[in-house]
Every structure is written in structure tokens, then in C-alpha cells.
A and B are shown apart, each in its own frame.
Chain A
Amino acid sequence: MIKQLSVFVENKPGRLAEVTGCLSEAGINIHALCIADTTDFGILRLIVADADAAKAVLKQRGLTVKTTEVVGVALTHKPGSLYSVLLELEKADVSIEYMYAFTSRSMEYDAIVVFCLADQKNALEKLKGHRIPFIDAEVIKNMK
């Protein structure tokens, strides 16, 4: 499991700039982020070097922030690698709330896919024994 930051942001010019600005000032590196189409507001999801420090910084600014556990899966950069993971999820009857992927030259893997699974606790139980290359929080911590 890896730690993800969720930040409530209003949909108006400058909001993302403020959030990223706070992290910049605190010297916190962003590894990945995702925000979907929204109406008046959205939830910004971030994977950062130090999620707890980032949460403290954003809370200090008065933002509504939460850290959640999500699933990270390591992939190699070749056709079918994501498919094989999704196939395992299907076999285990696990659905996905949302997902996003990121890559970095400094990693020992080509890419990491972040999954938020529906009913995550049970989902993980169901996935026991399936061949999925999960990564743990250490991998994120050691990323440059």
C-alpha cells in the first residue's frame, strides 16, 4: 500500500497553483497527480515524497486534506503488462474506483499504476494469491 494525498479544491483559476506552491515552498517533491473533470470542485490526488509532511503543510493553509492508502503496482514498459494486472482484478471480481499511472527515470520499474479499489479491504483479501507485483511505501520513499 502507498500513501496518497487527497485535497479538496474549488474549480477556479489559481487553486492548483496555490496547492502546488505550498508544496514547493516546503520543498516537497510531487511524483504523480491526478484530477478529473469537475464541476464546481474536484479532489486533487497526489503521490508525494512525504505525504504526512505535505498534509501538515496544506492543513496549515486551511485546506481540507486527507491521506488515504491506495494500491501501487509496478509494471514493465511492454504491451500487455497492464492488461495482465487488470485481468487478475477481473478474475478476483474486484472493481476500480479510479486509477492513474506515472513513470520516472529514477525508478527500478518502468511505471507505477495507482489503483483505488472499490471496497479496498475486501478487495485486497480477494487478491491474495493472485500474481500482482504490488509495491510498498518504501519504494515511494526511496524515489528521487
Chain B
Amino acid sequence: MIWNPEIETASRNRVRAVQWERLLNTANHVYKNVPFYRERLNACHLPPERWSSPGDLQKIPFTTKEDLRSYYPYGLFAVPRKEVVRIHASSGTTGKPTVVGYTRADLDMWSECVARLVCMAGGRSGDIAQISFGYGLFTGALGLHYGLEKVGAAVIPISSGNTEKQLMVMQDFETTILVCTPSYALYLSETAEKLGIDLEKLSLRIGMFGGEGHTLEMSKEIERRLGILVTENYGLSEVLGPGVSGECPYKTGMHINEDYFLLEIIDPVTGEVLPDGAEGELVITTLKKEAFPIIRYRTRDITSLHYERCECGRTSARMAKVKGRSDDMLIIKGVNVYPSQVESVIVGMEHISPYYQLVVKKDGYTDVLEVHVELVDDKLLESFSELEKLEKTVKAQLYRVLGLDCHVRLREPGTMERTAGKAKRVLDLR
């Protein structure tokens, strides 16, 4: 089912017209209400009344996480305090969190965005959705919560943690939609296996995963283990939370809610806007946000945009699975390495678990990449040479994908971090 066919199947011209109209409104809104943007637009001699085409947006400087931090907490809000009805914040693992606010209309728009993604994934009224994201400042849980309710699904706000209880609820409440990070879905399946729970008997049919990216291989692995359709959705608190884009069962990329967000792809080094289909850093401008509009936010996420028609009938542009973050990218011996490339090799490989860690070290002046994997198959314990052969195979596969020699280390099962939140896969000791 398409939640809002009028916009989700609109012609490209119509989408562009809506975007242009809303972009001008947003420019006027921030110019009038946020000194930070007013100064910026004035500095590049582009107050809103001088904008003549969508291309003018490209002349406006980017907004960065640092900008958000320096106006902590409310400096970039565009409405009077009394109109704000909700406040969220990013996890703030490094320094102060970034704070975002929502008006009543923003919350409605957020539910609308998520409702579309729920239908896109195949969700409907009558579904029972278990939200295993942590409720709190993080936007993931409440974002999905209201969108699912809007569609008519029953929401179980179980929050994160207590995996055994999660599995009990999943069985007893007959959960049909699981909402969590892909890492946690994997951990749930692993725990279920350990507890001897028959996954075939679950009512679960759809996974709506987000909060961190995951590879196609990981998606297949979770589908295999849980016997469900795995879909990914994308968003970030700075622009809204979940609801920017999501996958339909055809998995041709994540359909973007283009009437609410304008997406650009730039070269992360030069900042230059790249042509359709090119891979680069995603930059987002909100088109309808009231409390916390944002112009050209640098997400640091690496992806690409695609416009070919999807079989599901939606005409919206789609973004590819996020390959990594431009600040996650490791440069090892001059080679660019994304953890997702390693994941694509490790997940689904025989004899080892889908968990991994990258450790980057210096040996003298040389960078060394260690890839740690867990040996879970006891069949190879017959002989030491079998284990060495496994190490060599993993190493050769990684070389094929990374073009880089790395040191593979077999670890004992359970030594890699299992998490309900975003997995930390990289340890850079340089």
C-alpha cells in the first residue's frame, strides 16, 4: 500500500515544483527567525528575495555538526519557545549533544514521513510492532512509534535491552514488525538460537532497521536467521530523526520523502555538488520544518541518489544504502577503507560469526589493519592447519574487496561487542 499516492507517485516536475516552493518558504523562515542563517545569506548576497532558481541553494554554505554545537542548545531554533512541544538530542558521544526541537506541526509531519516508510516496508493496520530502540533523547524510538500508530499498527514500546524479555514478548505478543538496529536484530537471533526458541514459530514478518547502516550481506543474513523481510530506513536527528527515506520490498534503494527533504550529494573534500548517481557525501535541507529547519546539513554519510522508476510504483528518488561515514573512512597505507566493506566479506562467511572488529595500528611507520573475527565452528578444531587455512581465506577475500593486505585474527566466540545501539566496529590505535 502507498500511504500518500498523491505525492509518492507524483511526476518529477510536480516534485520539483513542490520542493522549490517549500525551499523558498524555508529560506524566508530561517532568514526571518534565525540570526545564524540571516548572517550567512547576507554574507553570500542571497537574501531569499534574490533567489531565482533551485540552483541558488548551492551557493549557500553548508551547516555542520560544529555549527549546531556552537549554538547549543537553542541558538538555531526558528520559533518562539512556547511553540516547541518536543525536544530531542543526538547521543553526543563526542562533546555536547546537538539539540533539536519540534512544533506540533513538525510532529505531525514526522508521523506522516514515518507512516509512508511503514507502508513502504509492508506494514499495515493490524500489525504489532515491537520497538526495541531505546526510548529517550534518541529520535529512533518515538519517531517510529508515532508513524506506526498513524498507520494503525499496535506499538509495543519495549525499548532496548533485556534480550530474553524481548524474545518472550516477541513470542507471546505475536510481534509482526521488529524495529531496532540491525546489530541488535542479529543479536536477538543469536540469543534466540542459544535459548532454543523456534524462530519459525514467530509471527514476525518485517524488520524495520535503522540507527546505523548495514550491508546487503548483513540484511540477507538477518533475513535468513529470522525468516523475515528486512528493510532499512534512514534519518538523523539533526534533520528530523527516522523518516527521511526507507526501503520498499524491491530494495532498489531507500525512497526519499522528497516533499520534506531536499538531498544533494557533494564531494566530501571539495564540497562541489556531484551529478545524479555519483557517490559522495549526503547533504540535506529540510523543506517544511518549523522549529528546527536546517539548510544544507552535512550528514557525513556516503551514498548516491538514483531516479530510475521503482517497480513498487513510487516515483520518488532513492538513496543507496549508506556505505559509511566520511569520518568513519579509514585511510590505511593510503587506501580508503570503510567498515561496511569488511562487513560485506565477513557476514555470511562459513565458520565465523557475523561480528567483527577492525583494529588499526602502527608498526614502526607502517599502518597495520587487523580484522578480528569470531571462530564459532568447532569442525575446524581437528587440525591447526584448517584454522590457518580459514585465516588465509578470510584474508584473501578481504584483499579482493579492500585491495589491502590485512592481518586476520581468529577470536573466541562472544569476544566482539553485542549492542542494542550503534555498534562500534573500529579501534584506531594510531
Contacts and interface: CB of A to CB of B under 8 A. Distances in A.
Nearest to A5: B381
B414 A8 contact: no
Interface string A1-35: 00000111110000100000000000000000000
A40 interface: yes
A119 B208 CA distance: 49
Contacts of B411: 10, 41
B379 A62 contact: no
A66 B384 CA distance: 13
Interface string B388-430: 0000000000000000000001111111000000000000000
Given A8-B375, A64-B375, A41 B410 contact: yes
Contacts of A10: 410-412, 415
Given A8-B375, A41-B387, A66 B381 contact: yes
A61 to B, nearest CB: 9
A66 B378 CA distance: 6
A62 B387 contact: no
A43 B413 contact: no
A62 B378 CA distance: 12
Query: Chain A's interface: helix, strand, loop or mixed, by majority?
Result: strand
A62 B382 contact: no
Interface residues of B, number: 17
B216 interface: no
A51 interface: no
A97 interface: yes
Given A8-B375, A43-B387, A68 B413 contact: no
Contacts of A41: 375, 387, 409-411
B21 interface: no
Interface of A: 6-10, 15, 36, 40-43, 62-66, 68, 97, 116
8 contacts: A8-B412, A40-B410, A41-B410, A64-B377, A64-B413, A65-B378, A66-B381, A66-B382
